[in-house]
C-alpha cells in the first residue's frame, strides 16, 4: 500500500502527539471520526505505525549525560558481529547501537548520570563487550536538536 496525503497527515500528527484522541485527530486531518479510525487501524496493521510510547525526560530520570561511543571490532566475521550485537543489546544504558560504514564498526548512544556514572558503565559493561579492539567516547555538551519524528 502506498501512503496518500491524508495518511501522511495522520502519521505526522501521531508522531508528535501519540495520545491525541481520535476525535481531535479526525478534525486535524479533515476526516470523519470513523474514517480516521479505520485509517489508523490500517496504518497499524500494515506496520507503518509500529508502536506507541511515552518519551521520558532524561533530566528528570537522572540520566542527562549523552555519550556517543565509537567501537572498532577485532574482526568482521559473522560470529564476531553476532556476539557483539547480542551482548550490547543487554546493556540497559545503551539507547541505540548502529552498525556503521566508515572508521568505526559501531556507534552507540549511551545515557548516564554524569562522567562518573559513565565510567561505571564503561567498566561494568562496555569494556567487557566481546571482540572490541578499540573504543572512543565523545560526550555531548548540549543537545541542539532532537526528534523522534520521521519525515512524512
**Backbone φ, ψ for residue 2 (5° rounding):** -100, 155
pLDDT number for residue 1: 75
Place of cell 553476532: 82
C-alpha cell belonging to residue 149: 519524528
Look at residue 127 and give its three-state secondary structure. helix
**pLDDT mean for each 10 residues of the chain (152 residues):** 95 97 98 98 97 96 98 96 98 98 97 98 98 98 95 96
The residues that bridge with 112 in the sheet, in sequence order, are: 65
Q: Which CATH architecture has domain 65-139?
A: 2-Layer Sandwich (3.30)
Within 13 A of 126's CA, how many CA atoms are on the CB side? Answer: 27
* Architecture, CATH, for domain 5-45: Orthogonal Bundle (1.10)
75-115 per-position pLDDT tens digit: 999 999 999 999 999 999 999 999 999 999 999 999 999 99
Amino acid at each position: 500500500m502506498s501512503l496518500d496525503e491524508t495518511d501522511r497527515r495522520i502519521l505526522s500528527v501521531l508522531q508528535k502527539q501519540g495520545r491525541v484522541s481520535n476525535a481531535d485527530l479526525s478534525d486535524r486531518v479533515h476526516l470523519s471520526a470513523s474514517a480516521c479510525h479505520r485509517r489508523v487501524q490500517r496504518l497499524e496493521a500494515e506496520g507503518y505505525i509500529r508502536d506507541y510510547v511515552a518519551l521520558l525526560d532524561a533530566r528528570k530520570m537522572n540520566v542527562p549525560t549523552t555519550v556517543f561511543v565509537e567501537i572498532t571490532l577485532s574482526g568482521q566475521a559473522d560470529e564476531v558481529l553476532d556476539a557483539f550485537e547480542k551482548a550490547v543489546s543487554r546493556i540497559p544504558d545503551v539507547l541505540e547501537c548502529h552498525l556503521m560504514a566508515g572508521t568505526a564498526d559501531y556507534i552507540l548512544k549511551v545515557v548516564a548520570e554524569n562522567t562518573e556514572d559513565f565510567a561505571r558503565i564503561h567498566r561494568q559493561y562496555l569494556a567487557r563487550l566481546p571482540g572490541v579492539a578499540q573504543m572512543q567516547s565523545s560526550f555531548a555538551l548540549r543537545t541542539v536538536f532532537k526528534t523522534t519524528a520521521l519525515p512524512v
